Amino acid sequence: MPDKKTIRKEQTKKLRALDPIVKADNEKALYAKLFQTSSWQKAQSVAVTASLPFEVNTRPIMEQAWQEEKTVLLDKIVDGQMFFVEIDANTPLTTGDSFGILEPESNHAVAKDQIDLVLVPGLAFSDAGLRIGFGGGYYDRFLQDYQGASVSLALPEQRRADWVPDQFDQVVDQVITIDEVD
């Protein structure tokens, strides 16, 4: 079995090579499924990451949440710790130190118990809810004692299960694919 570092490289290359039109169509199918889940419908607050160009685009998710008058939270990493900050469409964002992802300028963290739904990013997802992220362990640490719902959106190219999980890997409650909700 390949190690996680190898899988990260393979998945990043595979995602960067996706046809933009096919990717956009698949994203629309994922959004539609997400918005129908009870996790989404019950959530008053939704935590996301600002996606990189090759990831599932999270901007339409934020826009839908604002349209439904949900609170949108964006992740931020400071001194090796990840937390979420409330944002709106006009919140200034800056490139963070970790992975070059856009983050809010504010450091005003929202308490974990105030977050109803976390959309967990990743490069690969198994049907059992295991994931390979970017290697920082931020989401695994966050999910350890998080009590709300966690969901990941997986493009067809992100589905695989050919790795051995580490003891600190956290399982996502629900992996949404274009075929089904696991």
Q: Beta-carbon neighbour count of residue 44 at 10 Å?
A: 13
Global confidence as pTM = 0.93
pLDDT of residue 180: 59
| Tokens, residue 135 | 């290697």
Closest CA to 95 of 105, 110, 109: 105
Please report, in range form, the residues annotated as the binding site for ATP.
4-8, 131-139
The binding site comprises 4-8, 55, 131-139
Report the Cα 106 to chain-centroid distance in Å: 20
**Rounded average pLDDT over 139-164:** 94
The answer regarding whether domain 4-176 maps to CATH 3.40.50.10420 reads yes
Residue whose C-alpha is closest to residue 120's, from 38, 181, 176: 176
Return the pLDDT at 80. Answer: 86
Q: Does the pLDDT at position 30 exceed 50?
A: yes
* Average pLDDT of the residues in 87-101: 86
| 34 vs 174: CA distance, rounded Å | 10
Residues that constitute the known binding site for substrate = 55
The dihedral of CA 7, 37, 118, 49: what is its sign? positive
| Range from 45-49, 63-67, 97-101, 162-166 carrying the lowest mean pLDDT | 97-101
d(CA 152, CA 173): 8
Burial class of 74 by CB neighbour count within 10 A (0 to 12, 13 to 18, 19+):
buried
Domain-wise residue ranges, the chain: 4-176
CB 118 within 8 A of CB 149: yes
